[in-house]
Amino acid sequence: MARKRSGRKTRQRRSKRGFNLVNALELYIQTDVLTRNIMGTNPFTALTGMESYSTGGGKTSSGQYIAPSQQYGYYPQGTSVTLPELFGMDKMTSVGTVNRAVPFGQGVDVMKANLRANMFPMLMQTIGVRAGFAIGKKLMSKQRSFINNKVLKPIGLNTVVTV
């Protein structure tokens, strides 16, 4: 068995720095590309099921025109697919009424069709986002270093957040 060298000390590992905002932004944009191309909506709406939709509009029986109104709430009949729809969950609408649960897995066929239709554009967008952030990080490294060392470090936020 080999002898342990007494002269060398193991280096102490550098502690993990704070939450990286640039990496978080890249992750959100990549998630947005995937949810828009597969589910037809943004990540927030895909996760919560809350989306804006138009209701009403047109002429009444008496001939008066009613302008369409924009509402925000749970709308399982929409063209987008959300996680509550996939899991068949009940959801409260913005006006307080409960929409009954949709069947488990509703929207999987829509997601498959969207994936087939948007595969190439989604792939190109994903590569573009990754390349853009890689190039941007290299080009903006001095500015990012300035923010981390001269702005965040003196006020003590360098262990919480980095750029």
What does the pLDDT look like over 60-96, one tens digit per residue?
Answer: 666 667 666 666 565 555 667 888 777 777 554 445 5
User: Per-residue b/e over 145-159, b at no fewer than 16 CB within 10 Å?
Assistant: eebbeeebeeeeebe
> Are residues 73 and 79 in contact, defined by beta-carbon separation less than 8 angstroms?
no
pLDDT tens column, 90-115: 554 445 555 555 666 667 888 888 89
Task: Tell which residue, 139, 153, 154, 156, has the closest CA to residue 22.
Answer: 139
At 83 the pLDDT is 80
What is the pTM assigned to this prediction?
A: 0.69
Distance, CA of 75 to CA of 70 (rounded, Å): 12
Q: Which residue's entry shows tokens 């009403």?
A: 56
Per-residue three-class SS string for the chain: CCCCCCCCCCCCCCCCCCEEHHHHHHHHHHHHHHHHHHCCCCHHHHHHCEEEEEECCEECCCCCEECCEEEEEECCCCCCCCHHHHHCCCEECCCCCEECCCCCCCCHHHHHHHHHHHHHHHHHHHHHHHHHHHHHHHHCHHHHHHHHHHHHCCCCCCCCEEC
Q: What pLDDT score does 119 carry?
A: 95
Ranking 52-61, 68-77, 133-142 by mean pLDDT, the lowest is: 68-77
